[in-house]
């Protein structure tokens, strides 16, 4: 009986989480929220589904994981090691189980589970909106869609450190696109924005909140910047294919793939079959892959279409600032700074782009003075 009731509740939850936003514009509301009230808010959000939020991982790092104790959630963090994409495109994901005895297989259906992602930075949300395009445009992928449709997002403002540069790629600290709720830090407390009908549902029944006038916070500046507006970068890249900057980068790069592994918009994967020790059955799974690894573009027979490091380091940045940007008008880099912060060779994304800009300026100058 209890089991049947639980199943009914689950079915209702799934239905609820799949409801698309009603076609009305939510009137944006803003409430004041004390820092001390945040654990209670997290607890309240558990009524919708599993809450996933940043936690400490060791002394200096952070990770997104399901909340056990709301007081463990970290509200002030610079960035997690792995991006939020891991919750939508897991590093290893089973696609199917197969039997080697009779050659049959069973597809791994990804369950629709209501989840709330809490204390998410704006650049991270923007990376999910970009992944939406990659996974849903053309052939829409069911695994991704099931995870994505049942998700809600609660954003939080952050203090940029020496690696963040999201403003340079058009993403403000308080960019609220994609979020249902947003916590903007004011002094030590928060302003809670209710942004969508989904957000209204999430907050329903959470005590008495006091409506406040929205405040703009001054002085949360970015320390790291790309010198040009992002819409000028495709032209710089157009001229930079043969730039010596790529050689400088390639000479330092150790092809470890850390930059793509931690990148919130990288989505490349490989597929591999794992057979059990009895060799009777196994699973087909996909694993994150990286265009920075030596054999990424290698075909059977040994031909490697991006054999040299310079081919690969260049390809990665063109994928961020040129190829899809030409089509979609947006950089596919969100300025989280992970590739730079976690690069063992100290290669900086922003410095590389700024060097390309400088080289391009020099080339333009010479062209003009000669002409």
Partner 1 sequence: MKRIEDVAIADAQDLYSPIMCKVSRSKQVTALEKFYEIEMPAGQDLGHDPGQFVEVSVFGVGEAPISISSAPGKKGHFDLCIRQVGMLTNVLKSYEVGDAIGIRGPFGKGYPMEKLLGKDILVIAGGIGLVPLRSLINYVLDNRSLFGRLIILYGAKNPKELLFEDEIAEWSTRDDVEFHITVDQGDEDWTGNTGVITTLIPGLKLDLNNTVAAITGPPVMYKFVIMSLSSKQLPDDQIYVSLERRMKCGVGKCGHCQINGVYCCQEGPVFNYAEIKPMKEAF
Q: Map residue 283 onto helix, strand or coil.
A: strand
What is the smallest separation between the CB atom of 119 and partner 1, expressed in angstroms?
Answer: 21
Binding to partner 1 by CB under 8 A, coded x per residue (else -) over 264-303, reads ---xxxxxxx-x---x--x-x-x--x-x----xxxxxx-x
Count Cβ neighbours within 10 Å for each residue of 133-146 and write b for 16 or more, e otherwise: ebbeeeeeeebbbb
Binding to partner 1 by CB under 8 A, coded x per residue (else -) over 147-166, reads -xx-----------------
Indicate the residue among 61 and 239 with the shorter CB distance to partner 1: 239
328 binds partner 1 (CB under 8 A): yes
Binding to partner 1 by CB under 8 A, coded x per residue (else -) over 222-251, reads -------------------x----------
Q: How many residues bind partner 1 (CB under 8 A)?
A: 65
Q: How far is residue 278's CA from residue 286's CA, in Å, rounded to a whole number? A: 22
User: What's 52's DSSP letter?
Assistant: E
Residue 79 CB partners (closer than 8 Å, separation 6+): 62, 121, 163, 164, 336, 337, 338, 341
Q: What are phi and psi of 318, to 5 degrees?
A: -65, -30
Q: How far is residue 364's CA from residue 219's CA, in Å, rounded to a whole number? A: 35
Element (H, E) at 55: strand 50-57
Indicate the residue among 71 and 142 with the shorter CB distance to partner 1: 142
Q: Are 45 and 116 in contact (CB under 8 A)?
A: yes
CA distances from 160 to 51, 76, 149, 293 (A): 25, 11, 30, 30
Binding to partner 1 by CB under 8 A, coded x per residue (else -) over 100-139, reads x--xxx-x----x----------------xx-xxxxxxxx
321 binds partner 1 (CB under 8 A): no
Which of these segments, 41-49, 91-99, 115-123, 342-350, binds partner 1 (CB under 8 A)? 91-99
317 binds partner 1 (CB under 8 A): no
Q: Which of 335, 334, 330, 321 lies closest to 236 in space, CA to CA?
A: 321
Structure-block tokens of residue 348: 């900086």
What is the smallest separation between the CB atom of 172 and partner 1, expressed in angstroms?
Answer: 18
322 binds partner 1 (CB under 8 A): yes
Q: Which residues bind partner 1 (CB under 8 A)?
A: 18, 20-21, 95-96, 98-100, 103-105, 107, 112, 129-130, 132-142, 145-146, 148-149, 241, 267-273, 275, 279, 282, 284, 286, 289, 291, 296-301, 303, 305-306, 311, 315, 318-319, 322-324, 326-328, 330
């Amino acid at each position: 009986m209890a089991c049947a009731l639980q199943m009914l509740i689950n079915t209702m939850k799934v239905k609820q989480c799949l409801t698309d936003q009603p076609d009305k514009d939510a009137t944006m509301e803003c409430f004041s929220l004390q820092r001390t009230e945040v654990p209670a808010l997290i607890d309240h959000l558990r009524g919708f589904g599993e809450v996933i939020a940043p936690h400490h991982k060791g002394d200096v790092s952070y990770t997104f994981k399901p909340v056990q104790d709301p007081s463990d959630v970290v509200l002030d963090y610079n960035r997690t090691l792995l991006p939020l994409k891991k919750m939508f495109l897991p590093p290893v994901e089973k696609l199917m189980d197969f039997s080697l005895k009779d050659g049959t297989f069973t597809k791994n259906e990804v369950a629709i589970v209501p989840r709330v992602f809490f204390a998410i930075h704006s650049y991270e949300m923007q990376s999910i909106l970009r992944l939406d395009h990659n996974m849903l445009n053309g052939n829409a992928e069911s695994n991704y869609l099931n995870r994505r449709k049942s998700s809600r997002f609660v954003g939080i403002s952050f203090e940029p450190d020496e690696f963040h540069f999201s403003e340079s790629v058009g993403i403000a600290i308080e960019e609220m696109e994609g979020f249902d709720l947003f916590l903007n830090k004011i002094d030590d407390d928060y302003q809670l924005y209710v942004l969508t009908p989904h957000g209204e549902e999430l907050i329903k029944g959470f005590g008495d909140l006091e409506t406040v006038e929205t405040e703009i916070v001054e002085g949360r500046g970015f320390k790291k910047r790309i010198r040009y507006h992002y819409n000028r970068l495709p032209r710089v890249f157009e001229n930079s294919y043969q730039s010596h900057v790529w050689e400088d980068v390639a000479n330092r790069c150790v092809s470890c793939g850390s930059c793509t592994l931690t990148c919130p918009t990288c989505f490349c994967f490989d597929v591999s079959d794992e057979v059990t020790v009895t060799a009777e059955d196994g699973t087909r799974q996909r694993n994150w892959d990286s265009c920075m690894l030596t054999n990424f573009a290698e075909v059977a027979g040994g031909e490697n279409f991006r054999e040299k490091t310079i081919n690969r380091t260049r390809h990665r940045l063109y994928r961020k600032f040129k190829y899809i940007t030409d089509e979609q008008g947006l950089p596919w880099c969100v300025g989280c700074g992970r590739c730079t912060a976690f690069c063992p060779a100290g290669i900086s994304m922003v410095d590389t782009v700024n060097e390309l800009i400088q080289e391009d300026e020099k080339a333009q100058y010479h062209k003009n003075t000669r002409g």
